[in-house]
Amino acid sequence: MHNTYLMDNLTKAAERITEGFVGQRMVLVSAGNRKLISQNPLSAQLYATAIGYYPLASHHDRERIAGSQEYILIYCIDGKGWVDINGIQHEVLPNSFYIIPQKMPHHYASSVKEPWSIYWLHFNGSQAQLLFSSYTQITNSNGHNIAYDENRVAQFNYLIEVLETDLNAVIAEAVYIKVLSLLGSFIYVEPENKSDTTDSIAESIMLMKQNLKASFQIMEFAAKANYSVSRYSELFRKRTGYAPIQYFIQLKIHKACQYLCFTKMNIKQICNELGFDDPYYFSRIFKKHIGHSPLSYRKRYRTNQVD
């Protein structure tokens, strides 16, 4: 039974998507690479079986009644969703993660109103259980929030790239070290100190979300949070991984994606709703962030829904 505070995340059965999102990256480790990894004494200790990135994964919904043969890491960098592990549901917010144990019934899904963008990793090996045990001990006291780190994202992207290629013994061992380092960056971290800094940044983000049509200047956010522009920018980037105005534009683009996917609004109407005076500028910014023009994104999304 889903908690009432997460009801907006539920999707109709006909709208659920297990995979297939515009801009996604996904690698399933080939049978040949799996064999090579399993026969190498070092890499057999910890290895990836699948890895990927799902941006703005609207209606992403996956349920495994019998669980998975691998452990599954889900790392949310934007939007939100939920993870239900053996009947216990957890809200997943930006800069948070969960590791689902192997052979455990689970169900996870993206929010409908604020679709998540997630990196994910399926992993196994003789060290996997030990790492998961450490994870459960540490997160029981420290929670699942984690500061954004560009190096962590770079590690994900490296593994996505290299696991698409044919491995040899040396590369397989290098991948083992990378997977261990990546998982360690989630499990073995110092807890974040709670302060009014977090509240100030959270208030700024809420202000942005409630005023997507506005055109803010960074000094307005800094003044409201009682910081200098430079200090505010530093704290905001540390909290989110983005500069304030860059983050605000990204929120606008994410909302534009929802308009393109779920409404019949034309580009001019969407621009009016999101405070873009120039449709051509909007189209350039949209393509820079999403990799497709607005009309191409709408066409591809609707194609995915039909398929």
**AA identity, residue 70:** E
Inter-residue contact 28 to 35 (CB < 8 Å):
no
Confidence of residue 71 (pLDDT cuts 50, 70, 90): very high
CA distance 268 to 270: 5
CATH class, domain 196-306, is mainly alpha
pLDDT(4) > 70: no
Fold equal for 4-187 and 196-306? no
Inter-residue contact 43 to 176 (CB < 8 Å):
yes
pLDDT(303) > 60: no
The one-character DSSP state at 256 is H
| Residues paired with 85 in a beta bridge | 88, 106
Domain parsing of the chain, residue ranges: 4-187, 196-306
| Topology given in CATH for the domain delimited by 4-187 | Jelly Rolls (2.60.120)
Q: What is the pLDDT of residue 11?
A: 42
pTM of the model: 0.68
The one-character DSSP state at 60 is B
CA distance 208 to 224: 12
